Amino acid sequence: MYPLIRNRRLRQNESIRRLVRETIITPDDFLVPLFVVEGKGIKEEIPSMPNYYRMSLDILENEVKDLWQMGLCAVLLFVKVPDNLKDNQGTEALNPEGLMQRAIKTVKDSCPDMLVMTDVALDPYSSYGHDGIVAEGQILNDETSEVLAEMSVSHAQAGADFVAPSDMMDGRILTIREALEDEGFQNTGIMSYSAKYASAFYGPFRDALDSAPVDIENVPKDKKTYQMDPANRFEAIRETQMDVDEGADIVMVKPGLAYLDIVREIKNEVDVPVAVYQVSGEYAMLKAAAEKGWLDHDSVMMEQLIAIKRAGANIIASYFAKDVVRLMG
Ligand code: PBG
């Protein structure tokens, strides 16, 4: 009579596997990151992110229509800012006619129901490639938060549904929330990059936006004084709890795959939706291995995304979003 329990009964064909499957990926899970540049008719491939593009506003207009048609309902906007508009204060970030502000309007005009989230941090605008204002070798916390709050209001004025602060300054969620309330944007949400690690997986993204920290004397060469130490777990809970207390509507863990223990930990700890950013380096690794014929692209892509969702992600920011929807047919 041994064994009475055979777990393989629930695996013996695809129909029973479908019936008992715990984690299912759908287009509703995705937040699609988009990189916007100045110009016309521009759709340039990012060298370290095969099949991913920087696009000008006219191309963006059609891209969001396509995404919507495919069933994708949310985008996360990033802009590549020309060098001559960069400074230490991120002044251009507040320009009502800046590229981000125009990109928000473009998406909303083209596809009014598409949810628009915007990256809020100074790095694309910073002549030093830092997320905040630099002074005497330090990244200033409170001064930066004030600028980020103004930047958030500017994005809300342009029509953003959610702002997504990715800078890791302390207390910025409260500063941003208060600024949005003061300006009448009670319904503008905040998706906070709560547990964002100082990760080498962001390399291709910094190529895409030309936003890496510069190598100048008295400017930190990395982001380790504000982004988290990859070695730390309890700190991630503290960071996330703090953002929830300050008014974050959605919290995020970043990167994805190498931090799934953190995702689960946070999912168990907070009751707001948890987003995970499967970052540029994760995308680049799979594309490169698949190009060499070393990994099966589609199977590994799905396995990774299922792992992220199984770990506790309610929302996944991923460069694979379109590939997945196409694969699902
Ligand atoms: C900007 C920002 C970064 C990413 C998202 N927002 C880069 C960084 O912090 O240096 C990384 C995204 C990716 O690698 O896909 N603060």
Question: What pLDDT, in 10s, does the model give residues 53-95?
Answer: 999 999 999 999 999 999 999 999 999 999 999 999 999 999 9
Contact criterion met (CB below 8 Å) for 120 and 148: yes
Ligand 1 atom 2: residue of nearest CA: 166
Q: Is the CB of 282 under 6 A from ligand 1?
A: no
Provide mean pLDDT across the span 233-254: 98
Question: What pLDDT, in 10s, does the model give residues 85-130?
Answer: 999 999 999 999 999 999 999 999 999 999 999 999 999 999 999 9
Distance 205 CA to ligand 1 centre (A): 6
Q: Which residue out of 86, 223, 254, 309 is catalytically annotated?
A: 254
Contact criterion met (CB below 8 Å) for 184 and 242: no
pTM value surpassing 0.95: yes
Q: Is the CB of 283 under 6 A from ligand 1?
A: no
Question: What is the structure's pLDDT at 309?
Answer: 98
Question: What is the structure's pLDDT at 36?
Answer: 98
**What distance in Å separates the CA atoms of residue 185 and residue 161, rounded to the nearest whole number?**
10
Question: What is the structure's pLDDT at 329?
Answer: 84
Provide mean pLDDT across the span 188-197: 98
For the CA of 281, the closest atom of ligand 1 is 14
Please state, as a whole number, how many other Cβ atoms lie within 10 Å of the Cβ of residue 259.
27
* Max Cα-Cα span within the chain: 78
Question: What is the structure's pLDDT at 2?
Answer: 81
Contact criterion met (CB below 8 Å) for 214 and 127: yes
Confidence of residue 3 (pLDDT cuts 50, 70, 90): confident
Provide mean pLDDT across the span 287-303: 98
β partners of residue 119: 164
Known catalytic membership, residue 254: yes
Question: What is the structure's pLDDT at 308?
Answer: 98
Average pLDDT, the chain: 97
On the question of pLDDT at 1 being above 80, the answer is: no
**153 phi, psi to nearest 5 deg:** -65, -40
**What distance in Å separates the CA atoms of residue 139 and residue 219, rounded to the nearest whole number?**
9
Q: Which residue out of 196, 223, 267, 322 is catalytically annotated?
A: 196
On the question of pLDDT at 290 being above 80, the answer is: yes
Question: What pLDDT, in 10s, does the model give residues 207-231?
Answer: 898 899 999 989 999 999 999 999 9
DSSP state letters, 49-77 = EEEEEEE-HHHHHHHHHHHHHHT--EEEE
Percentage of residues in the chain with pLDDT exceeding 70? 100
Question: What is the structure's pLDDT at 95?
Answer: 98
Provide mean pLDDT across the span 246-274: 98
Distance 150 CA to ligand 1 centre (A): 20
Question: What is the structure's pLDDT at 86?
Answer: 97
**Substitution candidate for ligand 1 out of 35, 123, 148, 172 with most atoms within 8 A of CB:** 123
Percentage of residues in the chain with pLDDT exceeding 90? 96
**What distance in Å separates the CA atoms of residue 48 and residue 69, rounded to the nearest whole number?**
28
Contact criterion met (CB below 8 Å) for 320 and 283: yes
Ligand 1 atom 8: residue of nearest CA: 202
Provide mean pLDDT across the span 264-271: 98
Contact criterion met (CB below 8 Å) for 78 and 35: yes
**What distance in Å separates the CA atoms of residue 240 and residue 139, rounded to the nearest whole number?**
21
On the question of pLDDT at 178 being above 90, the answer is: yes
